[in-house]
Amino acid sequence: MKVDIQKITEGDESVVIRYREGNSVISRIIGILQSEGNKLWGKIDDQNVCVSFDEILYLESVDDKVFACTKDKVLRIDGSLNSFMLESDDECFFRCSKSMVLNVNRVVSLRSLSSNRIDATMEGGEHIIISRRYASEFRKLLKGGR
């Protein structure tokens, strides 16, 4: 694949993609350009799949692998939870434990637990425990400050 990149000093910026047949690489490039950064690419089995940040309930790290969970899908994504938090720069994602990031906009209810922990019930009915290390920051977030 030939890549032609030109820096311009005036005029409108544009991107042109020319291809004979669509494939996963072309689909991913188009998805990135159209989404303007609010989508996440991952794999289900050997297929590349794209989900919007809105669909994501939570991300979880298990055995050095990161998974993004929606109501009906679990995608394996590249990178780490830290890299996701840095790259997404989205206020709706909150680090709730060492191995998990949750989408605050998908929380249905909250319940205080012993040892200063919080039980967050997600839209899909799953319960996510916000560890005591992150609970005070989460309470600040709920009050409108971060």
* pLDDT per residue as tens digits for the range 113-131: 999 999 999 998 999 999 9
**pLDDT category, 32, cuts 50, 70, 90?**
low
User: What is the rounded distance in angstroms from the CA atom of residue 144 to the CA atom of residue 141?
Assistant: 5
**pLDDT category, 21, cuts 50, 70, 90?**
confident
Task: Name the DSSP class of 1.
Answer: -
Q: 80: helix, coil or strand?
A: coil
Listed range (40-49, 54-63, 106-115) with the worst mean pLDDT: 40-49
**pLDDT category, 38, cuts 50, 70, 90?**
confident
Region 91-101 average pLDDT: 92
Are 68 and 75 in contact, with CB atoms under 8 Å apart?
A: yes
**pLDDT category, 34, cuts 50, 70, 90?**
low
Region 55-83 average pLDDT: 93
**Could you give all domains of the chain from N- to C-terminal order, each with its CATH number?**
40-142 (2.40.50.1020)
Residues in contact with 136: Cβ distance below 8 Å, sequence separation at least 6, in sequence order: 116
Are 92 and 105 in contact, with CB atoms under 8 Å apart?
A: yes
> How many Cβ atoms sit within 10 Å of the Cβ of residue 101?
22
User: What is the rounded distance in angstroms from the CA atom of residue 139 to the CA atom of residue 142?
Assistant: 5
Residues in contact with 26: Cβ distance below 8 Å, sequence separation at least 6, in sequence order: 17, 19
What is the reported pLDDT for 93? 92
